[in-house]
């Protein structure tokens, strides 16, 4: 089985490459390193079943062998990153997806797209089921991400209809864990890195807004099961346990033993107040549900960031 993982040097991609190699697949990671790091793949570097190709998906695809499967994980995913690269983000989800779909048609490959809970915008329905159509701004500060993911879902549906290829769409809810860049800008990595460095934890708004946090191993298990399934509609993969940002900050401070204070800043425009997946479909279709608690996941993630941040300090 030859599998292409776009965005393979990023957070989700690197965890996925490790899993697929462990499962015995031949894996090609394709990444332009805009937000990813080749060091995320250091453990796979010498494995003959693994190759990293540095390439921008916003250009024509490089030479590749015949593919059996494609996981499309290339896209900036943290708000500061996709806002820094708005056009690139729109294009990699639109044109990049189209290129990969053409390739899937050519090779008869099965294609999985990493969509997002952001397709639901600032949701009016709770929890969000896959048939909820969302409450999204097409011109707001998150639009380059939300709308390009929505477009990609529509494009995939059209390709599956016209060419009969096998497609999968996973709507990922907030996920955290090892291989997420320390300066990625998402809340779990922010809090942990700030706590380890003894800097104030940046809290937007009152901290009463909630999120449901999923540990990355649970996400990867859900993605692999979805790829192996025969279901082509979108499927939520996330952890439905909801925590307020203040609860998260308190846990991080307790687990790191940090004396950092919490600094309150205004809530960014369009920041969703609540988001929580309804995972009935994933449970029924895939027999999947999250297994790792926030406490367990934070402990593993803090250990990872300690090594990253201390490595950084040692390197000066
Ligand atoms: N992590 C989450 O909580 C989450 C939530 C919802 C959706 N997702 C989706 O999962 C996927 C992976 O996200 P992540 O958290 O790993 O983000 P990430 O930024 O860590 O990884 C994305 C990777 O894609 C690469 N990339 C971006 N544009 C590219 C291009 N034009 N050509 C080649 N490579 C490119 C980056 O260099 C990076 O390695 C994304 O599609 C994202 O939208 C993630």
Ligand 1 touching residue 219 (CB < 6 A): no
CA of 125 to the centre of ligand 1 (A): 26
User: Are the CB atoms for 114 and 5 separated by under 8 Å?
Assistant: no
* Residue 85 shares a structural domain with residue 168: yes
The verdict on residue 113 lying in a domain is: yes
Give the domain CATH number at 149: 3.40.50.720
Does 57 sit in the ligand 1 pocket, CB within 6 Å? yes
Q: Which atom of ligand 1 is nearest to the CA of 186?
A: 3
Query: Cα of 12 to ligand 1 centre, how many Å?
Result: 7
CATH number for the domain spanning 195: value is 3.90.25.10
Question: For position 314, what pLDDT does the model report?
Answer: 56
- Does 287 map to a domain? no
Phi first, then psi, for residue 269 (nearest 5°) are: -60, 140
Tell me which residue range forms the domain holding 60: 2-176+214-237
Q: Which positions ≥6 away from 6 have C-beta within 8 Å? A: 13, 29, 30, 31, 57, 70, 71, 72, 73, 74, 96, 100
Question: Same domain, yes or no, for 137 and 264?
Answer: no
Length of the chain equals 316
Cis peptide before 30 (omega within 30 of 0): no
* Pocket of ligand 1 contains residue 112 by CB under 6 Å: no
Query: What local confidence, expressed as pLDDT, does residue 40 receive?
Result: 97
One domain for residues 140 and 247: no
280 domain-assigned = no
pLDDT of residue 153: 98
76 lines ligand 1 (CB under 6 A): yes
Instruction: Give per-residue pLDDT as tens, 11-50.
Output: 999 999 999 999 999 999 999 999 999 999 999 999 999 9
Residue 126 inside a domain? The answer is yes
Cα distance between residue 68 and residue 71, in whole Å: 10
DSSP 8-state code for residue 128: B
Residue at 246 is within a domain:
yes
On whether the CB atoms of residues 88 and 76 are closer than 8 A, the answer is: yes
Ligand 1 atom closest to 36 (CA): 39
Q: Is position 52 within any domain?
A: yes
Q: Would you say residue 284 lies in a domain? A: no
What is the DSSP code (8-state) at residue 208? -
Separation of 89 CA from ligand 1 center, angstroms? 10
Q: What is the pLDDT of residues 203-228, one digit of tens each?
A: 999 999 888 999 999 999 999 999 99
Instruction: Answer yes or no: do 104 and 251 share one domain.
Output: no
Where in the sequence numbering do the catalytic residues fall? 145
- Using the predicted structure, report yes or no on whether residue 313 has a pLDDT greater than 80: no
């Amino acid at each position: 089985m030859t599998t292409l993982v776009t965005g393979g040097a990023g957070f989700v991609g690197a965890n996925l490459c490790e899993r697929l190699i462990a499962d015995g697949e031949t894996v090609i990671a394709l990444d332009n390193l805009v937000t990813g790091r080749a060091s995320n793949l250091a453990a796979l570097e010498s494995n003959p079943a693994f190759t990293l190709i540095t390439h921008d998906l916003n250009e024509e695809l490089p030479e590749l062998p015949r593919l059996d499967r494609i996981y499309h994980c290339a896209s900036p995913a943290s708000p500061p990153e996709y806002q820094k690269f708005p056009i690139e983000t729109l294009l990699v989800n639109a044109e990049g997806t189209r290129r990969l779909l053409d390739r899937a048609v050519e090779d008869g490959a099965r294609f999985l797209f990493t969509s997002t809970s952001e397709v639901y915008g600032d949701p009016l329905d709770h929890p969000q089921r896959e048939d909820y159509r969302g409450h999204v701004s097409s011109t707001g500060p998150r639009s380059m991400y939300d709308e390009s993911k929505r477009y990609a879902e529509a494009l995939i549906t059209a390709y599956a209809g016209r060419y009969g290829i096998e497609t999968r769409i996973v709507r990922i809810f907030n996920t955290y864990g090892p291989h997420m860049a320390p300066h990625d800008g998402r809340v779990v990595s922010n809090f942990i890195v700030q706590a380890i460095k003894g800097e104030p934890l940046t809290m937007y708004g009152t901290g009463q807004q909630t999120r449901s946090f999923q540990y990355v191993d649970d996400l990867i298990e859900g993605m692999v099961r979805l790829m192996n399934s025969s279901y082509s509609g979108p499927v939520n993969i996330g952890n439905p346990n909801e925590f307020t940002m203040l609860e998260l900050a308190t846990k991080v401070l307790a687990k790191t033993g940090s004396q950092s204070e919490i600094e309150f800043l205004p809530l960014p425009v369009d920041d969703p107040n609540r988001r929580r997946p309804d995972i009935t479909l994933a449970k029924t279709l895939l027999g999947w549900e999250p297994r790792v608690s926030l406490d367990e996941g934070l402990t593993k993630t803090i250990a990872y960031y300690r090594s990253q941040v201390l490595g950084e300090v040692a390197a000066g």
